[in-house]
Amino acid sequence: MSQLAVPSLLRLTGRRALPGPLALAAIALVGLLAGCAPAPVTLSKPAPAEGSTAPATVPTAAAAPSQPAGPTRTVRVALQGSLATPGCSSAWS
């Protein structure tokens, strides 16, 4: 980890070397950041449609079944990793 981290840190900080305690702290942080890196993207075949191509409508709650009927649907959800933009942190919830 440190072998990879230090050149990157030096490039970022514009220094030829970091003081000992700072270097250790920075390397520990880079380890944390690496741990936050998201997994590679994988894609699967498209989920089956529900058989309707009509424009989206939202029926009232009374018209919806209280328990889902029919086959289980797969929903693919893209979430951002922690290294991107502010919204990504909410991926934790």
Partner 1 sequence: MLVGLELGYYREQGIEIEALYVRALPDMLPMLIAGQVEAAGVGINAGTLNAAGRQAFKLVADKGSLTPGHGYLAWVVRQELADSGRFRRDTDLRGLRFGITPPVEATQSMVALQRLLDSLGLRPSDVELQAMPFGDMPAALTGGAIDTAFLSEPFVTAGEQHGILMRWRGVDTIYPNLPLGLMAFSTRFLEEQPDTARRFLVAYLRSVRRYLDAMDYGRDREAVVAALTRHTEVKDPALYERMVPAGLNPDGRIDLAALAGSVEVYRANGALAEMLDLNAIVDHRYVDYALERLGPYRGP
Binding site for partner 1 (CB under 8 A): 8-10, 12-15, 18, 21-22, 25-26, 28-30, 32-33, 35-39, 41-44, 46-47, 49-50, 52-61, 64, 68-93
Q: Nearest approach, Cβ of 1 to partner 1 (angstroms)?
A: 13
Measure the CA–CA gap between 32 and 42, rounded to whole angstroms: 24
Report how far residue 11's alpha carbon sits from residue 71's, in angstroms, rounded to the nearest whole number: 53
DSSP state of 14: T
> Which of residues 3 and 58 has its CB atom nearest to partner 1 in the complex?
58
Q: 1 or 37, CB closer to partner 1?
A: 37
Reading the block at residue 25, the tokens are 């702290």
